[in-house]
């Protein structure tokens, strides 16, 4: 869907461990340019290592690489006046971030309640759960986690303060939420999602990138997004639909592309991924 061509200019707005970026680089060739964004310094360090290894492998076939360790919402500002052929954004938290317990993204391991994608700035999830008022906490859990049990969860959190670790928060939430019939996810899933989205301003980040994309892409350029929950996917769908009505986009995915059973067997985390694509008119 990204339609990477030799000599093109492609932006990976969510560099992570440079998995997508490496495959893009292989297709760009020496006259192409790969531009990467990531606000997570740990991810950026790993991406640099992986791309350096790829450079050693590809030699003169390696494209030019330009990396920016800032939020992808600033892509329009950073690349002002530039035109690119492709823009890829893989939203949400990365597997690497989930797997590092000390980052605080997962309730499945004991860790600090941090959840910041950029640990150099911003408030932590621990500050939010210990300092927000009960109503404010309930509202953000409902809004960003789409959690119907948000009021009793917030009440339980406030009564249990101070809350300092992921495991402690998960126990509090599970105890307050109980189990719902036919629920296939852990009772703390939506609360952790809500805190993570709030701490990292994830939805406003997505809105900013979607607003900048039409100016960044040249005619025929492709926008490809991967979303992992309905709030992300809804934003992309609505932006592409509105842009199509205005003559900005040709939407290439009437319905989002999703992983098939074989892929989800190999990579269970792909089961909720939804890919949408559009071409700049």
Tens of pLDDT, residues 168-200: 999 999 999 976 666 778 899 999 999 999 999
List all residues 6 or more positions away from 152 whose beta carbon is below 8 Å from its beta carbon.
Answer: 176, 177
How much is the pLDDT for 98?
59
Tens of pLDDT, residues 41-78: 999 999 999 999 999 999 999 999 999 999 999 999 99
Q: In this structure, are residues 196 and 254 in contact, taking their beta carbons and an 8 Å threshold?
A: no
What is the reported pTM? 0.93
- Residue 35 bridge partners (DSSP): 11, 66
The superfamily in CATH containing domain 9-95+202-280 is Vaccinia Virus protein VP39 (3.40.50.150)
Tens of pLDDT, residues 128-175: 999 999 999 999 999 999 999 999 999 999 999 999 999 999 999 999
84 pLDDT exceeds 80?
A: yes
Summarize the confidence of residues 14-34 as an average pLDDT: 97
Establish how many alpha carbons lie within 13 A of residue 166's alpha carbon, considering only the half-sphere containing its beta carbon: 22
**Taking the domains of the chain in order of start, what are their residue ranges?**
9-95+202-280, 101-200
How much is the pLDDT for 181?
63
Domain 101-200 fold: DNA polymerase; domain 1 (1.10.150)
């Amino acid at each position: 869907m990204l339609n990477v061509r030799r000599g093109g200019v492609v932006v990976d707005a969510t560099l992570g461990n440079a998995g997508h970026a490496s495959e893009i680089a292989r297709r760009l060739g020496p006259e192409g340019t790969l531009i990467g964004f990531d606000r997570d310094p740990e991810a950026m360090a790993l991406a640099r290592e992986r791309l350096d290894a790829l450079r050693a492998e590809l030699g003169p076939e390696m494209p030019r690489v330009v990396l920016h360790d800032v939020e992808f919402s600033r892509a329009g500002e950073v690349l002002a006046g530039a035109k690119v052929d492709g823009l890829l954004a893989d939203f949400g938290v990365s597997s690497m971030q989930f797997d590092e317990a000390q980052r605080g993204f997962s309730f499945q391991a004991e860790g600090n309640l941090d959840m910041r994608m950029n640990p150099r700035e911003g408030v932590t999830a621990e500050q939010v759960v210990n300092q927000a008022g009960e109503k404010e906490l309930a509202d953000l859990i409902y809004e960003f986690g789409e959690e119907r049990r948000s009021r009793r969860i917030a009440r339980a959190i406030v009564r249990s303060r101070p809350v300092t670790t992921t495991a402690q928060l998960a126990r509090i939430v599970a105890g307050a939420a109980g189990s719902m019939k036919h629920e296939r996810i852990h009772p703390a899933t939506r609360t952790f999602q809500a805190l993570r989205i709030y701490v990292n301003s994830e939805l406003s980040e997505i809105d900013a990138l979607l607003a900048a994309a039409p100016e960044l892409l040249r005619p025929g350029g492709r926008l490809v997004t991967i979303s992992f929950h309905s709030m992300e996917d809804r934003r992309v769908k609505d932006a592409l639909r509105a842009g199509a009505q205005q003559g900005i986009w040709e939407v290439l995915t009437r319905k989002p592309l999703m992983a098939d059973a074989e892929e989800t067997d190999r990579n269970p985390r792909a089961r909720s991924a939804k890919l949408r694509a559009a071409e700049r008119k």
